[in-house]
């Protein structure tokens, strides 16, 4: 068990390493570098050469990768091409804001998804299930920018209850994001809830159809006891991984949603960085996002291992 955990940790670390390699080589292949971006039209002759020497761009790619990667390990992502600010400084507020957005959406979405998913499964093929399932399908298939636009039209345009765009600056304290953050959170939570709900539903149904549940029913175990003791623990375990994958979706979906709502988060910073061809910043953000993804999946795997009685007892035996 301990070895499995260590193995899993190593695997996560290798993945982050590979991701950093992919990001670095992708940016390396793109035409232009930090200096052509920084100097714009002046990027020629001596000025360009001088800038490249200053930033150390004339060194071989492998060495630059090593410098960048070791810096990233210490939390230093280098200097942004524009305004020559430190990237870690530029990014920290944005990370906080995106986290605020994502965590709020998760905090609302996960309990909602579990309740509705279990309900839908227990009332399988009844009216409630059909209603919840079709609601989930529409929420997860309609593009998030479409649902965002509709929500803005209804709640901001017609009813005028909520602001349609966020005008708060990136370094504002958390309290100031209210009420502008409500609509983006609703859109994010809606899509996530739909994905998780579907998995919860099918997982619960699978267990309900299993032999040991039939056995328990035949033995005369009370219905509520069957659901609470036999069905839910077994059905909800695999959902942990889907929640983690949904977080992965969230990392991408947040880019579109932040742009729609003008929310000062990491996603919008990334779109801006790409438009400005600020490659150093793009590299940094990509690495952060990918690391979050890997860590979340790692946590989900470990949680599943720990929650699995078979693996847990294996650990006890070994100790």
Residue 299 or residue 315: which is nearer to another protein going by CB?
Answer: 299
Give the nearest distance from C-beta 98 to another protein in angstroms: 12
- Asked if 95 and 163 touch (Cβ cutoff 8 Å), the reply is no
Using CB atoms within 10 Å of the CB of residue 158, give its burial: 0 to 12 exposed, 13 to 18 middle, 19+ buried: exposed
Using CB atoms within 10 Å of the CB of residue 203, give its burial: 0 to 12 exposed, 13 to 18 middle, 19+ buried: buried
Per rule CB under 8 A, is residue 40 in the interface with another protein?
A: no
Q: Tokens representing 208?
A: 């309900």
Per rule CB under 8 A, is residue 119 in the interface with another protein?
A: no
- The upper half-sphere exposure of residue 95, i.e. CA atoms within 13 Å in the direction of its Cβ, equals 14
Burial 53-86 (b: 16+ CB within 10 A, else e): eebebeeeeeebbeebeeebeeeebbbbbbeeee
Selected from 259, 302, 303, 314, the binder of another protein by CB under 8 A is 259
Region from 55-63, 67-75, 219-227, 281-289 binding another protein, contact rule CB under 8 A: 281-289
Residue 114 or residue 293: which is nearer to another protein going by CB?
Answer: 293
Residues 6+ apart with CB under 8 A from 191: 139, 140, 144, 147, 249, 253
- Map tokens 């093929």 to a residue: 125
Selected from 101, 105, 187, 270, the binder of another protein by CB under 8 A is 270
Selected from 27, 43, 182, 314, the binder of another protein by CB under 8 A is 27
Region from 115-123, 207-215, 278-286, 306-314 binding another protein, contact rule CB under 8 A: 278-286
Give the nearest distance from C-beta 18 to another protein in angstroms: 4
| Binding characters for another protein, 218-257, by CB under 8 A (x = yes) | --------------------x---x--xx-xx-xx--xx-
Per rule CB under 8 A, is residue 294 in the interface with another protein?
A: yes
How far is the C-alpha of 167 from the C-alpha of 264, rounded, in Å? Answer: 8
Give the nearest distance from C-beta 27 to another protein in angstroms: 8
Per rule CB under 8 A, is residue 215 in the interface with another protein?
A: no
Region from 39-47, 52-60, 142-150, 166-174 binding another protein, contact rule CB under 8 A: 142-150
Per rule CB under 8 A, is residue 193 in the interface with another protein?
A: no
- Asked if 60 and 257 touch (Cβ cutoff 8 Å), the reply is no
Residue 20 or residue 216: which is nearer to another protein going by CB?
Answer: 20
Per rule CB under 8 A, is residue 286 in the interface with another protein?
A: yes
Per rule CB under 8 A, is residue 210 in the interface with another protein?
A: no
Selected from 188, 236, 289, 300, the binder of another protein by CB under 8 A is 289
- Which residues form the interface with another protein (CB under 8 A)? 14-16, 18-19, 22-23, 26-27, 29-31, 137-138, 140-146, 149-150, 152-153, 156-158, 195, 198-199, 202-203, 238, 242, 245-246, 248-249, 251-252, 255-256, 259-260, 270-271, 274-275, 277, 282, 285-286, 289-290, 293-294
């Amino acid at each position: 068990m301990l070895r499995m955990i260590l193995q899993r940790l190593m695997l996560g670390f290798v993945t982050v390493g590979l991701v950093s390699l992919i990001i670095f080589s992708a940016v390396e292949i793109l035409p232009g570098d930090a200096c052509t971006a920084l100097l714009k039209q002046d990027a020629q002759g001596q000025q360009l050469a001088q800038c490249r020497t200053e930033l150390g761009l004339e060194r071989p790619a492998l060495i630059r990768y090593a410098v960048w990667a070791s810096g990233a390990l210490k939390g230093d992502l280098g200097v942004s091409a524009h305004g020559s600010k430190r990237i870690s400084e530029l990014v920290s507020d944005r990370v906080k804001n995106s986290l605020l957005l994502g965590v709020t959406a998760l905090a609302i979405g996960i309990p909602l998804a579990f309740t509705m998913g279990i309900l839908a499964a227990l009332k399988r093929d009844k009216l409630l299930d059909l209603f919840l399932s079709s609601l989930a399908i529409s929420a997860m298939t309609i593009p998030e920018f479409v649902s965002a636009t509709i929500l803005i039209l209804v709640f901001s345009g017609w009813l005028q209850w909520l602001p349609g765009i966020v005008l708060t600056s990136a370094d504002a304290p958390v309290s100031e994001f209210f009420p502008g953050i409500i609509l983006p959170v609703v859109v994010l939570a809606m899509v996530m809830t739909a994905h998780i709900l579907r998995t919860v539903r099918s997982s619960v149904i699978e267990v309900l159809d299993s032999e040991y549940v039939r056995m328990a029913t035949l033995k005369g175990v009370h219905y509520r006891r069957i659901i609470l003791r036999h069905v839910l623990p077994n059905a909800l375990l695999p959902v942990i991984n889907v929640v983690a994958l949904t977080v992965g979706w969230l990392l991408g979906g947040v880019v579109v949603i932040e742009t729609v709502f003008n929310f000062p988060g990491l996603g919008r910073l990334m779109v801006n960085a790409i438009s400005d061809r600020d490659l150093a910043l793009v590299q940094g953000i990509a690495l952060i996002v990918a690391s979050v993804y890997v860590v979340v999946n790692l946590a989900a795997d470990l949680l599943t291992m720990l929650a699995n009685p078979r693996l847990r007892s294996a650990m006890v035996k070994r100790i």
